Amino acid sequence: MANSPESEDPVKAYGYAARDSSGVLTPLTFSRRSTADKDVRFKVLYCGICHSDLHFAKNEWGMSTYPILPGHEIVGVVTEVGSKVEKFKVGDVVGVGCLVGSCGSCQNCTNDLESYCPKQILTYGFPYHDGIRWLLDHMVADEHFVLRWPENLPLDSGAPLLCAGITTYRPLRHFGLDKSGVMVGVVGLGGLGHVAVKFAKALGAEVTVFSTTPAKKQEALEGLKADHFIVTKDPEEMRSVASSLDGIIDTVSATHPIEPLLTVLKQDGKHVSLGVPEKPLELSTYSLIMGRKIVSGSATGGLKETQEMLEFAAKHGVNADIELIPIDYVNTAMDRVLKSDVRYRFVIDVANSLKAP
């Protein structure tokens, strides 16, 4: 379903790229495709920094090919549409998330589950198709992978919804953790985690945050309106919520023990991994057998559900707590994400800070 890049745009794109597994981003000028029939070209306004950008820039998943131009929470304004584009016109505000291509014909694609297409093309890591991301002034993408921006959704603090939002909203819906009275745990209060709390609350759940950072307690309870806060490293606090939750949304980016988290699930409770640590999980089957627990995972979401999520977020006032930064702060920001030193998402003010070389 991705347009074939038939020709190169004569105007070079520019951005910031990682050249090796140090993950350090430096300016890069490169070619991208011209606007094809079904393409939308837009001026990039904002882009969030997701922990996946760090994993990818540092080749922590062993699949990076350099140069890497990270960034996949992108909001912009349309400047040109191809002759067969139906959904957009010049001047529309749009978003692009994790995906810019998929096969369009497999069982997943035909069921609006493009994020499970075996031939999916990620916004980052496939240099030709997207071209740009944080780092350039314009991006070109097939209209199928471009989202309409709801009128009352902020552009800067809404940008992280394009990855953090859909990645947390989808499993809450899919695993039935979207009803009044359902007991939901959110593990890791970072970019994904804090949005998960907001969506779970908006869907009616009672939310318990599990964190390694006691200093986040007040923010979680007062700012994010979580109902409870548990420090995962405190065995007594963990025991106080034993067998109490219907499901857990686990957003931790680093290798961490899963078994203590299974003890806080009720019978038939579900643990859903969203984080992608470098090392595999360690798990005894005993911890699953006792209580018929389910361990699962979830990857972002399809385009239809991403659009649905944006509409829901606009209606319920869900967006990210952000620190808006200029592009030249990006390496410092990446270091701070690694140290969990951000409340709770960096968003780059691309249009106002990216200058042509």
Contacts with Zn ion by CB under 5 A lie at 50, 52, 102-103, 106, 109, 117, 163
Q: Three-state SS for 348?
A: strand
Q: Which is nearer to Zn ion, 52 or 287 (CB)?
A: 52
Q: Is residue 216 near ligand NAP by the rule CB under 6 A?
A: yes
Q: What is the DSSP letter of 68?
A: B
Q: How far apart are CA 287 and CA 23, in angstroms?
A: 37
Q: How far apart are CA 105 and CA 167, in angstroms?
A: 23
Q: Is residue 120 near ligand NAP by the rule CB under 6 A?
A: no
Instruction: Look at residue 15 and give the partner it binds from Zn ion, ligand NAP, none, a contact being a CB closer than 5 to 8 Å depending on partner kind.
Output: none
Q: Three-state SS for 236?
A: helix
Q: Is residue 55 near ligand NAP by the rule CB under 6 A?
A: yes
Helix (H) or strand (E) holding 169: helix 164-174
Q: Which is nearer to Zn ion, 183 or 337 (CB)?
A: 337
**Which positions from 322 to 341 touch ligand NAP by CB under 6 A, shown as an x/- string?**
---------------x--x-
Residues 147-176 close enough to bind ligand NAP by CB under 6 A: 163, 167
Number of shown-chain residues binding ligand NAP (CB under 6 A): 29
The answer to whether residues 305 and 199 touch, using CB atoms and an 8 Å cutoff, is: no
Q: Is residue 108 near ligand NAP by the rule CB under 6 A?
A: no
Q: How far apart are CA 2 and CA 231, in angstroms?
A: 44
Instruction: Look at residue 95 and give the partner it binds from ligand NAP, Zn ion, none, a contact being a CB closer than 5 to 8 Å depending on partner kind.
Output: none
**What is the smallest separation between the CB atom of 119 and ligand NAP, expressed in angstroms?**
17
Instruction: Look at residue 109 and give the partner it binds from Zn ion, ligand NAP, none, a contact being a CB closer than 5 to 8 Å depending on partner kind.
Output: Zn ion
**What is the smallest separation between the CB atom of 163 and Zn ion, expressed in angstroms?**
3
Q: How far apart are CA 293 and CA 270, in angstroms?
A: 6
Q: Which is nearer to Zn ion, 49 or 265 (CB)?
A: 49
The answer to whether residues 108 and 7 touch, using CB atoms and an 8 Å cutoff, is: no
Q: Three-state SS for 42?
A: strand
Give the range of 182-190, 197-205, 236-244, 311-319 binding ligand NAP by CB under 6 A. Answer: 182-190
Instruction: Look at residue 213 and give the partner it binds from ligand NAP, Zn ion, none, a contact being a CB closer than 5 to 8 Å depending on partner kind.
Output: ligand NAP
Q: Is residue 319 near ligand NAP by the rule CB under 6 A?
A: no
Q: Three-state SS for 129?
A: helix
Cβ atoms < 10 Å from Cβ of 120: 22
DSSP string, 171-233: HHHHTT--STT-EEEEE--SHHHHHHHHHHHHTT-EEEEEES-GGGHHIIIIIS--SEEEETT
Instruction: Look at residue 102 and give the partner it binds from ligand NAP, Zn ion, none, a contact being a CB closer than 5 to 8 Å depending on partner kind.
Output: Zn ion
Positions touching ligand NAP (CB under 6 A) are 50-52, 55, 163, 167, 188-193, 211-213, 216, 251-254, 256, 274-276, 298-300, 337, 340
